[in-house]
Amino acid sequence: MFTEIAEAVIHGEVDKITALVQQALNSGASVHDILEQGLIAGMNEVGQRFRDYEMFVPEVLLSAKAMQAGLNLLKPLLAGTGGPGRGKVVIGTVEGDIHDIGKNLVISFLEGAGFEVIDLGTDVSPQRFVEAIKQEAPQILGMSSLLTSTLPAMHKTIEALIEAGIRHQVKVLVGGAPVTQAYADSIGADGYAPDGASGAMKARQLVGRP
């Protein structure tokens, strides 16, 4: 069942994925297993094939669409651990980077944990982050980066917060495949999380409500 879901992601079968995920849920599979062993496993294989030049951008985009369709079905089920009122998170993918599937998954977990989330989308400049912090006054700023080449944009954004005199107003949480705890420490972020579930847990710790 999970292999079929992963295959549907790999082949970008948007219509099929909804039926398969629904079927898995009906049969009692856990959301965690559908995510990890189905959708994410499929996307990891896509990444491997992309790197090996066996898949190209148009096919990867279809896979991304299929993954998102599956995620949309799981999204309401990721809720339930938090209850409302944990605080506000402004989040975005950093400048130069248009990957958003991981960010969207993190958002689902944050919302599930009771956070209000303002999503700035992708390719978000440091200035845009600064403006959003001033406007929204969130407790947490979340940044996602999937490209090694856009990692420095996280650092630039933290520097922009310092320059604007608002660094102390928010806790900064960072994540994405090339991000590590050591990198997060080196740029002065307050937290790092390797995946969506731990992202929500970290966010709760950062606002002092674990």
Residues lying near ligand B1M in the complex (CB under 6 A) are found at 40, 43-44, 46-47, 50-51, 57, 60-61, 64, 91, 96-103, 105-106, 142-144, 146-149, 173-178, 193, 195-196, 199
* Residue 87 vs 176, nearer CB to ligand B1M: 176
CB within 8 Å of 59: residues ≥ 6 apart: 12
In single-letter form, the type of residue at position 32 comes to H
Determine the Cα–Cα distance for residues 105 and 48; give it in Å rounded to an integer. 20
Minimum distance from residue 33 beta carbon to ligand B1M (Å): 14
Minimum distance from residue 37 beta carbon to ligand B1M (Å): 13
Minimum distance from residue 34 beta carbon to ligand B1M (Å): 13
* Residue 146 vs 170, nearer CB to ligand B1M: 146
Minimum distance from residue 105 beta carbon to ligand B1M (Å): 4
Angle among Cα 139, 145, 147 to the nearest 5 degrees reads 170
Residue pair 143/154 in contact by the 8 Å Cβ criterion: yes
- CA 29 to the chain's CA centroid: 23
Minimum distance from residue 27 beta carbon to ligand B1M (Å): 23
- CA 5 to the chain's CA centroid: 20
Minimum distance from residue 176 beta carbon to ligand B1M (Å): 4
Of the candidates 36, 179, 28, which has an alpha carbon nearest to the alpha carbon of residue 97? 179
* Residue 105 vs 132, nearer CB to ligand B1M: 105
* Residue 24 vs 105, nearer CB to ligand B1M: 105
* Residue 80 vs 178, nearer CB to ligand B1M: 178
Element at 116 (helix H, strand E): strand 115-119
* Residue 27 vs 100, nearer CB to ligand B1M: 100
Alpha helix segments (H runs only) across 52-192: 57-74, 101-112, 126-136, 151-163, 181-186
